[in-house]
Chains A and B, each alone.
Chain A
């Protein structure tokens, strides 16, 4: 083979590299995130993702209903729709929210492409670059990503096993106000929080609302898991306690199926107007066919009974995880005991770093999400989130066994090298799993 004399090429392989908006800073490939690529392989027990288990849905009957929908109402269902969402869909959402003691009017609802888009719209409507958003420490990785995309400053507020600590919230507001910062809202997941699994007590809910009212602070209540209670009845939503000061985000992803991408915002009238226009600018309208399909499901199927089926299934999985943790975790490890939702939050023995440990776990065929994914400030290395939503109970139990071995090896290595008790900060901003990771 004869090679011609080449001309010199000087490239960064991206002709637009100097054209991107500042908000794209940090949108890079991540070694931590790439490790999740193995999580969907059957050999690996994935406790990493947050994919709901929808195998128990009555798929044959659903197929027949969707078939009928296309045959009889296909020309409407496959057409553009309202930017606010279809009226029949919003009526149904009112019914769903009533299960959590929220009394709302369909006019105040905006249907969105999953509640993730609801979060995006709300942030877009409220936040300028540099504005402060308060969030629990830790908080949902997808929300942190949205806040970053709008160049917000994320300030974490301490929480414990009862939810946000009211004094921490008050102190943060006082400090930020004194520093001249513009705090736009508090983002909170009161029920079975992602990632901790913690539920705010009723007392805390009242305290948080009182502080928010005192400081004129808007609350964004994100409640995707609220109906997936595994022990008691659902707690009253924050929105049910203060209709004027809470923007509520809901979703069909966990009580039905995430692939339809339908969520919603319930907002005070003036906010709702802005959200509708913003939604039209973003997508014209939320997915119309999905709204027809979901409304059909809610009309023709016993969706409340289906949620009971989901609850039984998730309860069994949660119990398997708690039993596995009890049997296999090292001394010095603690974890939450969620009364619903998908997640258990594990606090590792002193000195362990969950992010540094992930490659070892992948080698051992078990995956989890490092705690660092849920902090905007690089903290969280001593924690990890375990999801019990997807694998069957025996696999979850096996996953905790493998994890126990990994912790043991890692701790031994740390001791060998005399690593101290302090946990490092990690500033890799994209360490959460992608949505299609089991």
Chain B
């Protein structure tokens, strides 16, 4: 790196106006502190009209977006940063869009031969126009119960429900549509829940050890995600070496298929027969005290701050080239 012109301050972007603002602020503080511990100059900023002024006033900034949900993950922010020719950590706008919209990312991954649950993505207008009763029946027949209903563009399990019968489906749909006008209905797959973080440090995606998730309540919902003690994590996951390798392979494949960059987290269910099934991927994985990625980084024997700093350096080198 020594021959490169050094970058300027790192702008850690967190907050925003999404439903996940609180989580993003927590993730942002963690990343900012980790980078400061590495001796880096860090400016923490919310996503406000002052941001562009701030970026214009800085020499050679690198942005580290830690915005969960909304424009932080749907490619909107990345599009603006690309337009402004500002270096940033993470995936390009189109890849973010593909990944964040579960209705797009899921089928793309499936086309590449990766196992994923049966699913349907439906806007709420469809139920109004075709009649909810008929569609609910069709969904029950095609997807089967239990099923998972979730907003197509959201995170942190907000608006997600497990539906065990047709009678529960309407309120689950209303719950998902409260977060956006597109919902995904997918087959519930029984198995071991794991998350695999993928990082690119030497130009190649590397899968970190899978983190196994065992929520006390049985459901990895918002409370289970962000309250220490509410979920048991096993790192690396208590699966065989073969299954662990298959999970890593799946995560890297999904990362590549979606065209992701720098870092991503892939959520997976391992069927009882050991087959990993893709659920979704995240371009801005949570970085809070209870989040999965920092645990995976630690389990890999890597320092979280050092990893963040390397991602920044990679983004800067990419920008210069």
Chain B: how many interface residues by the 8 Å CB criterion?
A: 53
B202, closest chain A residue (CB): A1
Measured between alpha carbons, how far is A131 from B67 in the docked complex, in Å? Answer: 45
Are B25 and A37 in contact (CB-based, < 8 A)? yes
Q: Is A180 an interface residue (CB 8 A)?
A: no
1/0 contact string of A21-45 vs chain B (CB within 8 Å): 0000000111100110110010110
Number of A-B contacts (CB under 8 A): 128
Residue in B177, B208, B223, B235 whose CB lies within 8 Å of A413: B177
* Distance to closest chain A CB from B82 (angstroms): 24
A359, closest chain B residue (CB): B178
Return chain B residues, CB-CB under 8 Å to A424.
171
Chain A: how many interface residues by the 8 Å CB criterion?
A: 42
Return chain B residues, CB-CB under 8 Å to A14.
228-229
Q: Is A17 an interface residue (CB 8 A)?
A: yes
Q: Is A59 an interface residue (CB 8 A)?
A: no
Which residues of chain B from 200 to 251 have a CB within 8 Å of any chain A CB?
201-202, 206, 208-209, 221-223, 225-236, 238
Are B19 and A356 in contact (CB-based, < 8 A)? no
Residue in A3, A13, A359 whose CB lies within 8 Å of B300: A3
Return chain B residues, CB-CB under 8 Å to A363.
19, 179-180
Q: Is B158 an interface residue (CB 8 A)?
A: yes
Measured between alpha carbons, how far is A379 from B229 in the docked complex, in Å? Answer: 28
Q: Is A418 an interface residue (CB 8 A)?
A: yes
Given A34-B22, A37-B22, A419-B171: A13 and B289 within 8 A (CB)? Answer: yes
Are A418 and B133 in contact (CB-based, < 8 A)? yes
Are B174 and A417 in contact (CB-based, < 8 A)? yes
A361, closest chain B residue (CB): B178
Q: Is A332 an interface residue (CB 8 A)?
A: no
Return chain A residues, CB-CB under 8 Å to B175.
356
Stretch at the interface among A4-12, A251-259, A295-303, A312-320: A4-12
Are A6 and B301 in contact (CB-based, < 8 A)? yes
Which residues of chain B from 227 to 280 have a CB within 8 Å of any chain A CB?
227-236, 238
- What would 25 A/B residue contacts be, using CB atoms closer than 8 Å? A1-B201, A6-B236, A8-B238, A9-B235, A10-B232, A12-B229, A12-B230, A12-B232, A14-B229, A17-B228, A29-B225, A29-B226, A29-B227, A31-B222, A34-B19, A38-B18, A38-B21, A356-B175, A359-B159, A360-B177, A363-B19, A410-B178, A416-B127, A416-B132, A418-B133
Task: List chain B positions with a Cβ less than 8 A from chain A.
Answer: 17-23, 25, 124, 127-128, 132-133, 156, 158-159, 170-171, 173-175, 177-180, 201-202, 206, 208-209, 221-223, 225-236, 238, 289-290, 295, 299-302
Q: A9-B234, A28-B227, A29-B225 are in contact. List 11 more A-B contacts (CB 8 A).
A: A3-B208, A3-B301, A6-B300, A12-B229, A12-B233, A34-B19, A37-B25, A359-B178, A416-B127, A417-B174, A418-B133
